[in-house]
Amino acid sequence: MAAMNHRVVTVFGGTGFLGRRVVRHLRDGEFFVRIASRHPERAKKLFGSDDPQLQSVEANIHDERAIADALAGAHGVVNSVSLYVEQGQETFHSVHVESARRVAAQAHRAGVERLAHISGIGSDVASPSLYIRKRGEGELVVRAAFAEATIIRPAVMFGPDDAFLTIVLKLLRRLPIYPMFGRGLTRLQPAYVGDVAEATARALQGTETHAITYECGGPRVYSYKEFLRAVAHEAGLKPNLIPIPFAAWHALAWFAEMLPSPPVTRNQVELMQVDNVSSPEMPGFGELGISPYSVEEMLQEILWDH
């Protein structure tokens, strides 16, 4: 095994929406970052191939050996792999539970000192939603395998090229009548993806050595309806918001999931039925010294991109 390097951090899912930003923050913190993903060529496209602080390795999180190789000599590890739509062998259980356990167990075995596991606000083993339940189970198996693991639970994340705010914006622009999830009363606390990435990097660099869970929610809590109005206002739009019962959304999502890239999934509908707000009792951005960006601040940048 390679000698332990106190500056090496392996990031699983380092080419994803959050993962690639975690890589950049760690890189800026002068870590040597090993980007472990199934598509190493994607990492080379994203980060270039000439940065001596970055190494791209092929690693499938379903493969014990590949995980062990990716962790050899590492001081820290971030698991930011996630799944939003089940496809064949890729299930919420196989990714959020089995693979999460595999990464944590291999990290423990390799003598890795720090592990940050990305979960989500509201993760709960008792939830009726399979996705939320598996996220909750994932946290438990990670802590069982690596007792001092740091768990990061972001609220719904937004940022350029996200699957949330940019889609809302696109639909608000195109649809004369905007169909809301239920009556638009679900509470959200959207977090900027760059802030969550910085929180992850800081948690990994911090002096906390005991198990800790951070809940990272943005600076403002909205009802879904308020959120839509705020986004529309920033974009100079005046949408007609129409409530649509959740039962109708579930039926629509069931059909949509038959499409190659479904515009809405049952998992998304289930997530929109529960509040996504950080607990005031839990440490979060403040404890990590981060002042999170608001949707309104970042929206101008996203509008500019579009």
Q: What's the CATH architecture for 8-157+191-218+277-292?
A: 3-Layer(aba) Sandwich (3.40)
Per-domain residue ranges of the chain: 8-157+191-218+277-292
Query: Quick one: pLDDT at residue 305?
Result: 66
The pLDDT confidence band at residue 102, using thresholds 50, 70 and 90, is very high
Query: Quick one: pLDDT at residue 144?
Result: 97
Query: Quick one: pLDDT at residue 3?
Result: 45
Residue 98 DSSP label: I
**Nearest to residue 13, comparing CAs of 116, 167, 109?**
116
C-alpha to C-alpha distance for 38 and 12, rounded to whole angstroms? 9
**Residue appearing with tokens 């579930």:** 250
* Region of poorest pLDDT, from 73-77, 115-119, 173-177, 209-213: 209-213
For the segment 4-20, the average pLDDT, to the nearest whole number, is 87
- The model carries a pTM of 0.93
Query: Quick one: pLDDT at residue 87?
Result: 82
| Chain segment 136-195, per-residue pLDDT in tens | 999 999 999 999 999 999 999 999 888 888 889 988 999 989 999 999 999 999 999 999
| Chain segment 217-268, per-residue pLDDT in tens | 999 999 999 999 999 999 999 999 999 999 999 999 999 988 887 878 888 8
The pLDDT confidence band at residue 36, using thresholds 50, 70 and 90, is very high
List Cβ neighbours of 302 (8 Å cut-off, separation of 6 or more).
158, 159, 160, 165, 166, 169
| Chain segment 37-90, per-residue pLDDT in tens | 988 888 888 888 788 899 999 999 999 999 999 999 999 999 999 988 788 889
Computed over every residue of the chain, the mean pLDDT equals 91
Strand order in the sheet with 76-79: 54-58, 32-37, 8-12, 76-79, 114-118, 150-154, 212-216
Examine the pLDDT at 13 and tell me if it is beyond 80.
yes
